[in-house]
Amino acid sequence: MPVTTIADHEIHVDDEGFMTVYDEWDEELAKSLAAAIGVEMTDESWRAIRFMREDFKSEGHTPTLRRISTVGGFDTKGLFALFPKKPAKKMAYIAGLPKPAGCV
């Protein structure tokens, strides 16, 4: 498993760069992850990322965009604005989670 260093944090990642160890993540690191992919974080972005972390903890897998919007109560259009083009993947990356596996 590759190890990479982002903002002085040594983290385990998959071949693409998504984090693979849940507990290596913290919000300081998430700021750097967001910056690395050019995403500017807002209060709403943080709420969504925190929801994903909690949901992963209880469900065992990364929520899809549909789930983030229906279960988490986030506006889909808003998520596309906050995490342009590929919201689910970008959010998973910033949240230190694997890419969502579900289709919908």
Partner 1 sequence: MTAAQEAIIPKFDDDEEDSGRTLAIICSKGDLDMAYPGLILGNAALGEGVKLHLFFTFWGFDMIIKSRMRNLKFSPNGNTAMHMPVGDVRIPQALAPMPGMQPMATKMLKKQIADLGVPEVPEFLDHIVASGGRLWACRMSADMNHVTKDDLYEGVEDIINASDFIELTAGAQLLFI
> Residue 74 catalytic?
no
Asked if residue 21 binds partner 1 (CB under 8 A), the reply is no
Q: Give the number of other Cβ atoms within 10 Å of residue 82's Cβ.
A: 20
Asked if residue 10 binds partner 1 (CB under 8 A), the reply is yes
Least CB distance from residue 43 to partner 1, whole Å? 21
- Residue numbers at the binding site for partner 1 (CB under 8 A): 2-6, 10, 13, 15-18, 36-38, 64-67, 69-70, 75-77, 80, 84-90, 93, 102-104
